Amino acid sequence: MDNKSFIRGVLDALFFEKFFLFLFIFFIAFFYVTFSIPIISTGDGGELASTGFTLGVPHPPGYPIYTEISKLFTFIPVGNIGEKIAILSVFFAILTIVVLYKTVEILGIDKKAFYFGASLLAVSYTYMGQSLVIKFYTFNLFFVAGVFLIGVYFVKRGYDSRLVYVGSFLLGIIVSVHHLGLLITLPLFIVGLFYSWRFLKDLLKSFPFFVIGLLTFIHLPIRSVKEDSFLFTLVIDWDYFVKYLLRKTYEKSTVDTVKNLYSSFDSYLYSFNNVFEILYKNFSWLSVLLFLIGTIFLFRKDKKLGIFSLTTFVIYTFFLGILAFKVQNPSLNDWFVIGHQYFIPGLYFYILIVIAGLGWFYEFLKNKNFSFVYRVIPPVLAVFPLIYISDRMFDMNYGTEYVPYSHSKVIFGSLPVGSIYISFGDNHTFQGWYLKSITGFRNDVCQLKQDKTDGISFTLQGCRPSKLYSKLFPQFFKKGDLKFYAEEDRLYSIIPILKNSPYSKIYSSELYIYSFRYFPKQMETVEREKLKKENLNMENRVFQNFIDCVSHKVDEPFSKYLCGFLTEYYLYLAKQKEPFISVNDITFDIKRAYTMDYIYRIFVNVKIGDENFVYVWRAKALKGYNKPENFFYFGENGE
Amino acid sequence: MVSNLKEVSVFVILLFFVLLASLIVKNYRLQQDFFEKGVMYENEHKLIPAVDAYERVILAYIPFSSYNQEAIDKILLICDKLNSYDKLYCYETLRSALFQIQSFYQPYGELKEKITNKIIDLRTDLYIADLKLENKKEEIHKVMEEITKKEFNPDKFWSFLVPLCLIGWIFSIMAGIWYRKPYFYGLGIVFFSLWLISLYMA
């Protein structure tokens, strides 16, 4: 072979490699966008869209970088605000896969193994799930993976104090991305100790860069004073600012979580069990073998790199499990909020080691001159995990998920002009903020956020600016009087009044579509009849929500929970229109748990006839299709 | 290093365009699908579900797509046919959908203004009718106008600068550390100052 053709061969190979990489990455990008949420997602989605669009302040610790970058995404000239902010999650999920590629390259692992690992990660339940919604977990992972890459450079290319400074600066930045990102400090520190005094000296010198990284938090006080920004809360005094950063405004702050580290041996076992369940359910047993080989391979390649990779994996899986997930039988909420969100970095580092294991196998094939097998197996294995796409089409197809939006529209759209609506819990509150305050849909309504069921106190984010709303709701703003609005049929809440409710002495409540109308005790039967008529007239308003609830293809407990409200409404209609005599009847168990000791539970028995058959059928369809307890991680326990 | 940076930049730009193209394809399918559903509901005289379906056509906004205008026209026609709270729901839906599709500019800005005025009148009339406050019409209209026109919408120019300056100062500091050149730190300070100013001005 002459020199020219050799060079051409190398160029072709390089081009082919890059072309294939681009093709692979762009395929995942297309696939993710198609499956991403079309408006807003449940949980924090509504809040993050609201604060992102307005450069506002979300819940502690305030996530300034996520907020500002999500604002940049709202300038995309296609789609709506929520949809565009969801693209941010997709964008960083893809970039993280590119960082994975770069890490594999620097670690000197056969790059063909990357494709198998990246496909497996991309179609895994949790990684894909967090890449399609309005959440900061893929954004956070991108930074964690980036800092890990710096650590790999550090070990591979030899000591360089600049890497210590850059790492320190990025750690400061990471604090404002997500507090869990900071866990990467531990493995970085361990690796640094290999270089003893030099590292410790540079570490001290790098501290100012860490502080400069923290300056991103200036966003909070500046945006708190702006009228155009939507605020979870005002962060303007120093003490509160510090509390906010450390999440001390919550019952359990970040500091308390760390104190939680020392615990009984049993709880360590529970944590191990829970984390193992996450890894197993995402990647199956087969990957464990590759993981073990990968660990040995990395240690044999370079002890420092082995220690660094394994420590990072342990920190983001079992150590994090001890901090946040050491319950014996995690509830559905625990699985969804902690298991399905916090452990994405753990999944990433697990896959990195799996790739190393497969890389060793490929090297073995290459060295033993199994050239045919070496050429055939990698492409087959690269696309093999993509068979899971068929699963994801039915549990992660967020492209079909309109429930949170249409649910909120039914609630706000049915309220009389100038009403007060009391929301409870993240779902109803955050979605309400987005719909009412940001899009302006029925912003004549004053939305109050109630945090506890055993007291009457509110936060007013959904009724700001108070100088405007106090003109429409003077009795509430000047005297804190709600009774006036109850008398005028203008007081609604998502919480029913039960016996142990602090409202029970003054008010009683009746179902109004999905929420409850509060009215003074002495309200006449005529009023109840009027309410019944109004409820019967709202059938058309819930229709789109019904379609959304029976056609979404997402395994999303919060959405399924929201669809339960519609089941109850259809049962109400069925009950109102039930035949006088019927041989068929059915009993439904309706339950809404607000807190541990505030549970609304009713058994509705309905006689079935031609008059109400359609409502009973719809209620049954909704209940059958939306069982939150069938959640991916919870399935076996739930059943 | 420089060629690496070039490569990364090209990749990020390419990725952005792939995402944009994918978003267009996705939204076009959504527009087609929901427009058909809207027509179907309208034929079945389910006017509110039809409004909800057309709203989703607008929410899947693609510049220059003929579905945008067609969906708006359909909603406006339906709004005319409705009364009382259903009419209010219809206009509110259209206005909030138009608000949500803004980017550098607000598509159908004039129409949004017109609908806002209709909503103010409707809210005032319904509130007065519900609470029998005929003698306070002007006062209530003024309050409704202020509340309805309130938007949480930071200044577009300054709020676009905010993330750019943030990225600018972060990268400048990193470049300063890496290349050990004071020039980058100076640039970092400039970006940082601009970031603070734009945060405040937005």
3-state secondary structure A179-220: HHHHHHHHHHHHHHHHHHHHHHHHHHHHHHHHHHHHHHHHHH
What is the rounded CA–CA span in Å between residue A461 and residue B94? Answer: 24
Question: Is the CB of B178 less than 8 angstroms away from the CB of A166?
Answer: yes
- Chain B residues 97-136 within an 8 A CB cutoff of chain A: 97, 99-101, 103-104, 123, 126-127, 130-131
**Nearest C-alpha of chain B: how many angstroms from A378?**
24
B19 in contact with chain A, both atoms CB, cutoff 8 A: yes
Q: Average pLDDT for residues A569-574, to the nearest whole number?
A: 96
3-state secondary structure of A511: strand
Q: A523 pLDDT band (50/70/90 cuts)?
A: low
Q: Average pLDDT for residues B1-23, to the nearest whole number?
A: 84
- Chain B residues 41-70 within an 8 A CB cutoff of chain A: 46-49, 52-53, 56, 59-63
pLDDT of A255:
62
B78 in contact with chain A, both atoms CB, cutoff 8 A: no
pLDDT of B149:
96
pLDDT of A39:
95
Q: Average pLDDT for residues A78-84, to the nearest whole number?
A: 97
Question: Is the CB of B150 less than 8 angstroms away from the CB of A29?
Answer: no
**Nearest C-alpha of chain A: how many angstroms from B138?**
13
- Looking at residue A416, the DSSP 8-state letter turns out to be P
Contacts of B59 in chain A (CB under 8 A): 38-39, 79-80, 83
pLDDT of A358:
96
In a mutational test of the B interface, the residue from A147, A212, A407, A544 whose CB has the highest number of chain B CBs within 10 Å is: A544
B87 in contact with chain A, both atoms CB, cutoff 8 A: no
| Sign of torsion over alpha carbons B115, B117, B121, B126 | positive
Q: Does the pLDDT at position A248 exceed 90? A: no
pLDDT of A101:
95
Question: Is the CB of B59 less than 8 angstroms away from the CB of A80?
Answer: yes
Contacts of A473 in chain B (CB under 8 A): none
According to DSSP, the residues that pair with A600 across neighbouring strands are A592
Contacts of B101 in chain A (CB under 8 A): 79-80
Question: Is the CB of B52 less than 8 angstroms away from the CB of A219?
Answer: no
Question: Is the CB of B152 less than 8 angstroms away from the CB of A230?
Answer: yes
Pairing of strands A396-397, A553-554: antiparallel
Q: Does the pLDDT at position A256 exceed 70? A: no
CB A29 within 8 A of CB A93: no
Contacts of A55 in chain B (CB under 8 A): 154, 159, 162, 199, 202
3-state secondary structure of A557: helix
By C-alpha distance, which of A392, A12, A21, A378 is closest to B14?
A21
pLDDT of A266:
85
| pLDDT tens-digit series, residues A407-424 | 999 999 999 999 999 999
According to DSSP, the residues that pair with A57 across neighbouring strands are A231
Q: Of B59, B97, B152, which is closest to A438 when you measure between CB atoms?
A: B152
Report the first-to-last Cα separation within chain B, whole angstroms: 36
Q: B3 pLDDT band (50/70/90 cuts)?
A: low
pTM of the model: 0.94
| Sign of torsion over alpha carbons A30, A34, A38, A44 | negative
Tokens of A148: 């890990």
Q: A638 pLDDT band (50/70/90 cuts)?
A: very low
Tokens of B10: 């090209």
CB A413 within 8 A of CB A442: yes
pLDDT of A639:
41
Q: Does the pLDDT at position B1 exceed 60? A: no
In a mutational test of the A interface, the residue from B31, B34, B37, B52 whose CB has the highest number of chain A CBs within 10 Å is: B52
pLDDT of A10:
60
Question: Is the CB of A25 less than 8 angstroms away from the CB of B150?
Answer: no
Closest-CA residue of B relative to A433 is B152
Q: Of A38, A71, A77, which is closest to B60 when you measure between CB atoms?
A: A38
Question: Is the CB of A78 less than 8 angstroms away from the CB of B61?
Answer: yes
Q: Average pLDDT for residues A333-359, to the nearest whole number?
A: 96
Mean model confidence pLDDT for chain A: 91
Q: Average pLDDT for residues A479-489, to the nearest whole number?
A: 91
Q: Does the pLDDT at position A41 exceed 60? A: yes
| pLDDT tens-digit series, residues A54-71 | 999 999 999 999 999 999
Distance of CA A486 to the CA centre of its chain: 36
- Looking at residue B1, the DSSP 8-state letter turns out to be -
Question: Is the CB of B166 less than 8 angstroms away from the CB of A34?
Answer: no
Q: Average pLDDT for residues A325-341, to the nearest whole number?
A: 92
By C-alpha distance, which of A104, A94, A123, A130 is closest to A284?
A123
How do the domains of chain A map onto residue ranges? 3-399, 403-542, 545-638
The least confident of A241-255, A362-376, A403-417 is A241-255
| pLDDT tens-digit series, residues A421-473 | 999 988 899 999 999 999 999 999 999 999 999 989 999 999 999 999 999 99
What is the rounded CA–CA span in Å between residue B23 and residue B63? Answer: 12
pLDDT of A253:
63
| pLDDT tens-digit series, residues A115-162 | 999 999 999 999 999 999 999 999 999 999 999 999 998 898 888 899
The least confident of A45-59, A137-151, A235-249 is A235-249
How do the domains of chain B map onto residue ranges? 18-153, 158-201
The amino acid sitting at A346 is: G
Q: B4 pLDDT band (50/70/90 cuts)?
A: confident
Question: Is the CB of A68 less than 8 angstroms away from the CB of B60?
Answer: no
**Nearest C-alpha of chain B: how many angstroms from A200?**
18
Question: Is the CB of A162 less than 8 angstroms away from the CB of B178?
Answer: yes
Tokens of A262: 């020392």
According to DSSP, the residues that pair with A507 across neighbouring strands are A520
Contacts of A77 in chain B (CB under 8 A): 63, 103-104
- Chain B residues 148-167 within an 8 A CB cutoff of chain A: 148, 150-155, 159-160, 162-164, 166
| pLDDT tens-digit series, residues B132-174 | 998 999 999 999 999 999 999 999 999 999 999 999 999 999 9
In a mutational test of the B interface, the residue from A36, A83, A173 whose CB has the highest number of chain B CBs within 10 Å is: A83
In a mutational test of the A interface, the residue from B19, B124, B179 whose CB has the highest number of chain A CBs within 10 Å is: B19
Closest-CA residue of A relative to B140 is A472
Question: Is the CB of A541 less than 8 angstroms away from the CB of B144?
Answer: no
pLDDT of A107:
93
What is the rounded CA–CA span in Å between residue A283 and residue A277? Answer: 10
Q: Does the pLDDT at position A583 exceed 60? A: yes
Question: Is the CB of B93 less than 8 angstroms away from the CB of A441?
Answer: yes
pLDDT of A18:
78
Q: Average pLDDT for residues A503-509, to the nearest whole number?
A: 90
Pairing of strands A458-462, A446-450: antiparallel
Q: Average pLDDT for residues A286-305, to the nearest whole number?
A: 94
CB A119 within 8 A of CB A385: yes
What is the rounded CA–CA span in Å between residue A458 and residue A429? Answer: 12
Closest-CA residue of A relative to B178 is A162
Closest-CA residue of A relative to B97 is A439
Q: What percent of chain A has pLDDT over 70?
A: 95
CB A430 within 8 A of CB A44: yes
What is the rounded CA–CA span in Å between residue A51 and residue A70? Answer: 9
Q: A257 pLDDT band (50/70/90 cuts)?
A: low
Tokens of A446: 């004053």
Q: Does the pLDDT at position B31 exceed 70? A: yes
What is the rounded CA–CA span in Å between residue A452 and residue A598? Answer: 10
Q: Does the pLDDT at position A17 exceed 90? A: no
Contacts of A447 in chain B (CB under 8 A): none
Pairing of strands A396-397, A458-462: unpaired
CA-CA distances (angstroms) from residue A291 to A97, A285, A305, B104? 18, 10, 15, 47
CB A220 within 8 A of CB A64: yes
Is there a cis peptide before residue A628, judged by omega within 30 degrees of 0?
Answer: no
- Looking at residue A337, the DSSP 8-state letter turns out to be I
Helices (H), chain B: 2-43, 47-59, 66-81, 84-100, 109-131, 137-149, 156-179, 182-201
Contacts of B64 in chain A (CB under 8 A): none
According to DSSP, the residues that pair with A591 across neighbouring strands are A601
**Nearest C-alpha of chain A: how many angstroms from B75?**
15
Contacts of A489 in chain B (CB under 8 A): 130
Q: What percent of chain B has pLDDT over 70?
A: 99
Taking the CA of residue A630 as centre, how many other CA atoms within 13 Å lie in the half-sphere pointing to its CB? 11
Q: Of A39, A87, A162, which is closest to B59 when you measure between CB atoms?
A: A39
Q: Average pLDDT for residues A187-209, to the nearest whole number?
A: 90
pLDDT of A52:
97
CA-CA distances (angstroms) from residue A254 to A213, A248, A342, A429? 19, 7, 14, 24
